[in-house]
Amino acid sequence: MAPAALRRRLNWQLAEVLSVTTETPTARRLRLAVHDWAGHAAGQHVDVRLTAPDGYTAQRSYSIASPPQAPHLDLVVERLENGEVSEYLTEELRSGDLLELRGPIGGYFVWPATAAGPVQLIAGGSGVVPFLSMLGHHRATRSEIQVRLLYSARTEADLIGTGELAGPGISTTLTLTRAVPPGWEGLRRRVDVTMLAEHTLAPERSPLVFVCGPTAFVETVAAGMLSLGHDQSRIKTERFGATGGP
């Protein structure tokens, strides 16, 4: 059931932009101060609304990258081709600006409040963002739950949150699908069933599985995990496409 906090009305509020930093060549991290933030669960998102002087508005959803324990709210936004909201957030927005948002939203793709068993996270591209919040939460609570992350990106430069992927009880496998730097020790191909079998928690351990990434990635991974014997009800997915939210 939904936490009670989600029942309240979600009002638009103004956040102050504390900083905009370069996460990857195409992604920026927006650090926000939100007055009276109601708190969030790791994995939730916010809706951001932009308003032009003539009253035109555009809104999109962005996953929260910071853990609930952080004193600020971080969003990581990837610039999409012809994405009027993502272009503004990654190229125009700067510290001191105000940004209208509301949230937190979504109570399903979240770190379970009462998880006992292991958790498997599988990310493609900027699909890793909600997992940054989960991993931060895991560290902040000194959780003893075993977590494995399998994270696929195009190149090393495209990796998001590189300083936040490790911690006690967390084991991370990276795979790069295009260019591999000299001395790269991770994997070097697209995620496939063989990789899932070798680098994710076995179905016998009944992990809770979170999959986030582009549609084709999520389809491949979710089908692969089913074929390895994971229970459908243990697999939670969140998808975005090139057309899913410019």
Residues found near another protein in the complex (CB under 8 A) = 1-2, 6-14, 35-36, 47, 49-53, 56-61, 82, 84, 88, 92-93, 97-100, 105-109, 215, 219, 222-223, 225-226, 232-233, 235-245
Of residues 115 and 226, the one with the C-beta less far from another protein: 226
Asked if 137 and 85 touch (Cβ cutoff 8 Å), the reply is no
Of residues 110 and 160, the one with the C-beta less far from another protein: 110
Residues present in the chain in total: 246
Q: Give residues with Cβ within 8 angstroms of 114, minimum separation 6.
A: none
Beta carbon of residue 180, minimum distance to another protein (angstroms, whole number) = 30
What DSSP character marks residue 12?
Answer: -
d(CA 218, CA 215): 5
Beta carbon of residue 137, minimum distance to another protein (angstroms, whole number) = 19
d(CA 19, CA 75): 11
Of residues 105 and 140, the one with the C-beta less far from another protein: 105
Q: Any idea what the Cα angle at residue 225 is, between residues 221 and 229, rounded to 5°?
A: 165
Beta carbon of residue 187, minimum distance to another protein (angstroms, whole number) = 23
Beta carbon of residue 144, minimum distance to another protein (angstroms, whole number) = 27
Structural tokens at position 102: 């509301």
Beta carbon of residue 100, minimum distance to another protein (angstroms, whole number) = 6
Q: How many helices (H) and strands (E) does the chain have?
A: 4, 11
Of residues 136 and 224, the one with the C-beta less far from another protein: 224
**What number of other Cβ atoms are within 10 A of residue 183's Cβ?**
5
Q: Which helix (H) or strand (E) holds 140?
A: helix 129-140
Of residues 98 and 179, the one with the C-beta less far from another protein: 98
Of residues 111 and 174, the one with the C-beta less far from another protein: 111
Beta carbon of residue 55, minimum distance to another protein (angstroms, whole number) = 9
The candidate with the shortest Cα–Cα distance to 120, out of 139, 147, 151, 152, is 147
Q: Any idea what the Cα angle at residue 95 is, between residues 93 and 100, rounded to 5°?
A: 60
Structural tokens at position 5: 């906090």
Beta carbon of residue 220, minimum distance to another protein (angstroms, whole number) = 11
Of residues 2 and 116, the one with the C-beta less far from another protein: 2
The candidate with the shortest Cα–Cα distance to 48, out of 21, 3, 87, 4, is 87
